[in-house]
Amino acid sequence: DDTWRYWVITHASTGFSTNENLWDLYCLEWREYEPWNCGTWYSKALGTTYNMQICTETPTQAPTKTPTEYPTDIGCSANYAYVTVESSDVDGLQETLTSIRTDFPVYAYEYNIIHRELVLFADGDLPTVTENNPCNSHTWTYLPAYYNGKIVMFDYDDDFVGLCTIQKWVLEMQDYANVKAVLIANNKDLTHVYSLEGDMKLDAPTIPSRMISQISGQNIKNEMNRTQENVWITIDCFDKELPTMICVLDEDIYGTYAKLDGEYQ
């Protein structure tokens, strides 16, 4: 729609409306996937502008530039963990990624993982059944040294999930190299994440694994391509006094009264 390409903030009692007079703030940067990327917000009522501070900053100090020895600190439940990425470029990508734990072990992270290098599985090469098949490490073309001491990011692939579960991918990786954690980048739905199912017939993995959103995975790849250098991942813990989820109950069968959409972290 060429008319309503805006990010809009209205009062909760008003709900979303196409009536401009009811908008508290609006942003013209409609190409942005997330509203907090808007640089300038306009107020129709006051005729003034506002700048939104990034609301996805981590609640702790920025990681050091030098990788910290693993383990680094006392960990937490996977429900209270969050993932941040930091570019090698001081002016580059630095944000909290939308993520969620998997529905297979480990359910609690024994240690925080601070400022670890991230590598792409098979350096981003497209997998096939006979080469870099995530279900079978005997097909992998990169030596364990490529993955040792690092966090590995897989792209979710429907074809290979049809052959084996993500839990099998994690097991293959942890047995193949001294990997610190595994991230699975969603291949659809932009900002959405969900808990990946496991297989109770398999052994329990011993390293953390989390799904991150499609946008988060794309941002990481774009930054690596732009800088031709590493990015660094931290898996740390939220304050347990704060909720990690928001649930909305809409008792109307048609969803008429649902007012909350998107991801929260």
pLDDT in single tens digits along all 265 residues of the chain? 444 566 777 766 666 677 777 777 778 776 666 676 777 887 766 667 777 654 444 444 454 444 444 444 567 888 888 999 999 998 999 999 999 999 999 998 888 899 999 999 999 999 999 999 999 999 999 999 999 999 999 999 999 999 999 999 999 999 999 999 999 999 998 888 999 999 999 999 999 999 999 999 999 999 999 999 999 999 988 766 665 566 665 566 555 555 555 555 5
Residue 164 buriedness (CB in 10 A; 0-12 / 13-18 / 19+):
middle
Alpha-carbon distances, residue 163 vs 79, 135, 137, 160 (angstroms): 28, 7, 14, 5
Question: What is the model's pLDDT at position 169?
Answer: 97
Question: What is the model's pLDDT at position 66?
Answer: 45
Within a 10 A sphere around the Cβ of 92, how many other Cβ atoms? 15
Lookup: tokens for 212: 């991150």
Lookup: tokens for 185: 């980048």
- Give residues with Cβ within 8 angstroms of 11, minimum separation 6: 24
In this structure, are residues 121 and 153 in contact, taking their beta carbons and an 8 Å threshold? yes
Q: Is 70 left (phi over 0), alpha (psi -120 to 50) or beta?
A: beta
In this structure, are residues 151 and 209 in contact, taking their beta carbons and an 8 Å threshold? no
Residue among 131, 183, 129, 180 nearest 154 (CA): 183
Question: What is the model's pLDDT at position 39?
Answer: 74
Alpha-carbon distances, residue 54 vs 15, 16, 24, 35, 71 (angstroms): 24, 23, 19, 10, 29
> Which long-range contacts (C-beta less than 8 Å, at least 24 apart) are formed by 24-28?
25/50
Tell me which DSSP letter residue 201 carries: T
CA distance 102 to 194: 8
Q: What SS3 state is found at 255?
A: coil
Question: What is the model's pLDDT at position 22?
Answer: 74
Q: Is 253 left (phi over 0), alpha (psi -120 to 50) or beta?
A: alpha
Question: What is the model's pLDDT at position 57?
Answer: 44
CA distance 111 to 98: 20
Question: What is the model's pLDDT at position 26?
Answer: 77
Alpha-carbon distances, residue 122 vs 35, 118, 155, 186, 248 (angstroms): 33, 12, 11, 17, 40
